[in-house]
Each structure stands twice: as structure tokens, then as C-alpha cells.
Amino acid sequence: MNEDRSANPVDRRIGQRMRGRRLELGMSQEHLADMLGVTFQQVQKYEKGINRVAASRLFELGAALNVPVGYFFEGLALGAATGVSEEETAVFDAIASPEGLQLLTMFAGIKSARLRRRIVELVRVLVEDDQAALDEPG
């Protein structure tokens, strides 16, 4: 049996799903912590995947966030070494931020496929420029 008790990609995914759902509900970390009987720092650690969430706590989280326990595992690949791809992690990181959730919600409301493609192209250019600025010596 593996004695390493540090968080792994699955723990981080559970934390991302937890944070995303909490933000979707407009719930603060403090409020969720009160519902669970833990500190808001503990909620932060769960959301970052620093601390693992015990099965009983996962059950309580599901109840507090009004989702079934299986919600936290949606999208995980069975049998994969890490269970979570880099692309999936990036998506969940984006959704887990207030700005990312807001951006994705608004983006989904755009009816024009042409406009959505242009927005994606704009964001691609912005990311490339941002990366180039980070790579410049300076």
C-alpha cells in the first residue's frame, strides 16, 4: 500500500469541483465551513487539494452543496495514472475562479459561432502576448 498521504491530482480535482460548485451557489468559504463545522482555512485546503477529503466529509460536502457524492468524481478517468489531464485541470481552474465562471457563463450566452471563434482567437493572442512578456529578459 502507498504510504504517501499527500494530495494527488484526484484530490485536487475534488477540490476544484468543490470550489466550482460553491462559487456557482454564491457561497463563501466561511459559510461552507460553518455548515461543515470546520474552519474556512480547512475549506481552503480542501479546495486547493492540499488536504484530502475523507469519505464522511465528502458526504457532508455533497449535502451542503446540494450535489450527489459522485459529482466530485465526474470526469475522472478510471485506470489513468493521475485520473486528470492537464487540459481538464486548466478548465476546472478557470471555472473555479470567479472571473472564469463569469466569463464562461457570458461566453455560453453568445449565439454567434463566428463571434465565439473571434473571441477565442483574441484570447489566444492575449495569452501568447502574456507569455512573450514573461519570457522577455528584464
Q: Which of 43, 133, 135 is nearest to 96 (CA)?
A: 43
Same domain, 32 and 53: yes
Confidence of residue 1 (pLDDT cuts 50, 70, 90): very low
Same domain, 76 and 137: no
Same domain, 91 and 104: no
pLDDT digits 0-9 by tens, 35-82:
999 999 999 999 988 899 999 999 999 999 999 999 988 877 665 545
pLDDT digits 0-9 by tens, 82-126:
555 666 666 766 766 778 778 888 888 899 989 989 998 998 898
Q: Which domain holds residue 110?
A: 99-138
Same domain, 51 and 92: yes
Same domain, 48 and 114: no
pTM over 0.95: no
Average the pLDDT over 131-138 and give the result.
Answer: 79
Q: Which residues contact 84 (CB under 8 A, 6 or more apart)?
A: 9, 10, 12, 13, 75, 76, 77
